[in-house]
Copies of this chain bind each other. A is one copy, B any other.
Amino acid sequence: MKRKLVAAVLAIALGAGTAATAFAQVKPEQLVKQRQAKMTLQGKYWGPLAGMLKGAVPYDANVVARNAGFLEALSKMAWDGFDESTKGVKSAALPVVWTDAAKFKQAQDQFQSAVTALVAASKTGDEAKVKAAIGDVGKNCGGCHDSFREKS
């Protein structure tokens, strides 16, 4: 029974495309797929915040707090997917990701700091502060996209 359960659990893990073994054995294509999945979800939770900043979506402090929390988790999920093994896989990542790892790391850190600051701001109940923090996250999205990602 235990064996059957374990087999089922593994089947699910493998079915989801993730090797249930060491990280280094995950296929490069899967690493890129995971990076892109992170971007898809980041877009989901970022979109309404950008809309609030523009005034296209009504300001909602609860949505900001929820989305900021999700963005904080998501903001940590892609970086380990930029493994050397993915260099040859088609993606929007520019070569500078590999040639200037220090600058890429700096952009990651700045982005994560901006998201952490947004989480903190979302707890103050101060709409002006929250909107400034949203703007700062947006600037860091843009900064990273400009330098490290192909224009779409």
Residues of A whose CB lies within 8 Å of any CB of B are 5-6, 8-10, 12-23, 26, 33-34, 36-44, 46-48, 50-51, 53-54, 56-57, 69-70, 73-74, 76-77, 135, 138-139, 141-142, 145, 152
**CA distance in complex: A151, B11 (Å):** 11
Return 26 A-B CB contacts under 8 Å, by A number: A5-B139, A6-B50, A6-B54, A9-B50, A9-B135, A9-B142, A10-B51, A10-B54, A12-B46, A14-B47, A15-B43, A16-B40, A16-B46, A16-B47, A17-B43, A20-B54, A20-B56, A21-B47, A21-B51, A21-B56, A34-B44, A37-B40, A44-B77, A70-B73, A73-B73, A73-B74
**Sample of 5 more A-B contacts, CB < 8 Å, known A34-B40, A73-B74:** A5-B138, A5-B142, A13-B47, A18-B47, A22-B57
Q: A14 — which chain B residues lie within 8 A by C-beta?
A: 47
User: Given A21-B51, A21-B56, are A43 and B138 also a contact pair (CB < 8 Å)?
Assistant: no
A20, B134: Cα distance in complex, Å: 13
A38 neighbours in B (Cβ, 8 Å): 37, 41
Partner of A16, one of B6, B21, B43, B53: B43
* Nearest CB on B from A92, distance (A): 10
Judge whether A16 and B34 touch: CB under 8 Å: no
Max chain B Cβ within 10 angstroms of own Cβ: one of A15, A39, A69: A15
- Which residue on B lies nearest to A42, using beta carbons? B16
Given A41-B41, A138-B9, residue A152 in contact with residue B53 (CB < 8 A): no
